Amino acid sequence: MTRTWKDGLRGAWLVAIGLALYVAAGQASLWWGESLRVANDYPGHNPPWYFIRRDAITGGLFAAALALSLTAAFLGRRKYPAYAGMLAWMSVLWFGGGVWKWLVILMSTHDATEGGASTTRWTTFDSYLADPVIIAGQVGVYVFSILIAIVSIRTTRRAAA
């Protein structure tokens, strides 16, 4: 049986799912971020609620998109192992940092959607931007996505042999 270049593209639609979810979650977060603004929600305000709320909204939407992407990768792993693995590591790479930041925000804020009653551990934008927990988690996401890619390549090679 001769294989054509079209055979190599079977399953590429899995990666398209991840890309579509990334675009949809990003656009939804922009729209939702504007519709949920409150009085102290502007850049330059301390604490930096503008950025905290935007990152929380984006992270929540990214969590849903990551769950959908990983489900699609899991379901397609037997028939399209190369593209399922690619979808898995790309999804963790694209969405994981935002999801991690969202989880840290959930643990570090109280009533983030309320105007004056909100509290957070970040007093300034610089303290939020340079938070070591957020940075360490995002580095961990990068390392985890690289590990998924390595496992995916090995699995694909074994399946081809």
Domains of the chain: which residue ranges? 11-160
Q: What pLDDT does residue 161 have?
A: 67
Please say whether the dihedral angle defined by the alpha carbons of residues 7, 83, 65 and 25, taken in this order, is positive or negative. Answer: negative
Q: What pLDDT does residue 155 have?
A: 84
Is the pLDDT at 6 greater than 70, yes or no?
Answer: no
Q: What pLDDT does residue 64 have?
A: 98
Q: What pLDDT does residue 5 have?
A: 60
Lowest mean pLDDT among 24-33, 76-85, 116-125: 116-125
Is the pLDDT at 1 greater than 60, yes or no?
Answer: no
Placement of tokens 């990214």 in the chain: 62
pLDDT in tens, 58-96: 999 999 999 999 999 999 988 888 899 999 999 999 999
Q: What pLDDT does residue 128 have?
A: 95
Question: Does an H or E element contain 109, and which?
Answer: strand 109-110
Higher confidence at residue 149 or residue 49? 149
- Quote the pTM value: 0.87
Placement of tokens 């102290």 in the chain: 40
Angle at 75 between CA 86 and CA 90, to 5 degrees: 20
- Percent over 90 (pLDDT), the chain: 60
Is the pLDDT at 39 greater than 80, yes or no?
Answer: no
